Structure 1
Amino acid sequence: MKALCLNLVLSMTLLILTACTTIEVKESHFIKPDQGIDLTTLQNINNTANLNPIEITAFDGIKLRGTLITVANAKATIVYFGGNQFRVDIAAKQPLEALLPLQTNIVMFDHRGYGKSDGSPTVSNLKQDALSIFDYVKQNPRINNKPIILHGHSLGSVIAGYVTTKRNIDGLVLEGSITNIQEMTDTRVPWYAKPFITINYSDGLLEFDNLKIVKQYKSPLLIITGENDTQTPISLAKSLFKHAASSQKQLYIASGKHHGDTLNGTELKPHYEVLLTQLTSSSL
Structure 2
Amino acid sequence: MLFFYGSNEDALIEQNRLVWLSSLGVNAVCFDYRGYGFSDGQIGAAAIRDDALRMFDAVKATVAPAGSSVMVYGWSVGTQLALHVAANRPVSGVILQAPPASADATDKASRTADVPSIVRWAVALKSDADVRSIYQGAVEAKAVSAPLLIIEGKRDTTVPPAQAQAVFDASPSTEKRIVFVDGADHNTLKFREPPASSEVVAFLAGK
- Of the three residues 226, 230, 241, the one matched with 2:153 is 226
* Higher RCO structure, 1 or 2 (CA under 8 Å, sep 6+): 2
Cα deviations across residues 144-196 of structure 1 (Å, max 9, x unaligned)?
53221110111111111111232221111111110011012223434876653
Residue matched to 1:165: 87
Cα deviations across residues 40-67 of structure 1 (Å, max 9, x unaligned)?
xxxxxxxxxxxxxxxxxxxxxxxxxxxx
Q: Distance in 2 between matches of 1:220 and 1:112?
A: 29
Cα deviations across residues 251-276 of structure 1 (Å, max 9, x unaligned)?
12222222234313132233223423
Higher Cα Rg, which structure: 1
Change in Cα spacing, 1:158 to 1:141, as seen in structure 2 (3 Å) is closer
- Of the three residues 43, 46, 51, the one matched with 1:129 is 51
Alignment of 1:18-167 (within 5 A): 78-93=1-16, 95-140=17-62, 143-167=65-89
Runs of at least 5 residues in structure 2 that lack an aligned partner in the other structure:
none
SS at match of 1:147: coil
Assess if the C-alpha contact under 8 Å between 2:109 and 2:158 holds in 1: no
Assess if the C-alpha contact under 8 Å between 1:154 and 1:177 holds in 2: yes
Moved beyond 4 Å, runs of 4+: 190-195
More off after superposition, 263-272 vs 244-253? 263-272
Whether 2:124 is the aligned partner of 1:198: answer yes
Runs of at least 5 residues in structure 1 that lack an aligned partner in the other structure:
1-77, 280-284
Change in Cα spacing, 1:128 to 1:267, as seen in structure 2 (3 Å) is same
Residue matched to 1:276: 204
More off after superposition, 214-223 vs 226-235? 226-235
Judging by fraction of residues, say which structure has more strand.
1
TM-score normalised over the length of structure 1: 0.64
Whether 2:203 is the aligned partner of 1:255: answer no
Assess if the C-alpha contact under 8 Å between 1:130 and 1:159 holds in 2: yes
More off after superposition, 251-260 vs 167-176? 251-260
Residue matched to 2:99: 177
Cα deviations across residues 58-93 of structure 1 (Å, max 9, x unaligned)?
xxxxxxxxxxxxxxxxxxxx1111111322223321
Which amino acid in 2 is paired with 1:139? A
Q: Distance in 1 between matches of 2:155 and 2:33?
A: 27
Residue matched to 1:3: none
TM-score normalised over the length of structure 2: 0.85
Whether 2:141 is the aligned partner of 1:214: answer yes
Q: Distance in 2 between matches of 1:278 and 1:220?
A: 9
Assess if the C-alpha contact under 8 Å between 1:248 and 1:278 holds in 2: no
Assess if the C-alpha contact under 8 Å between 1:105 and 1:143 holds in 2: no
- Of the three residues 163, 166, 171, the one matched with 1:244 is 171
Which amino acid in 2 is paired with 1:205? V
Which amino acid in 2 is paired with 1:111? Y
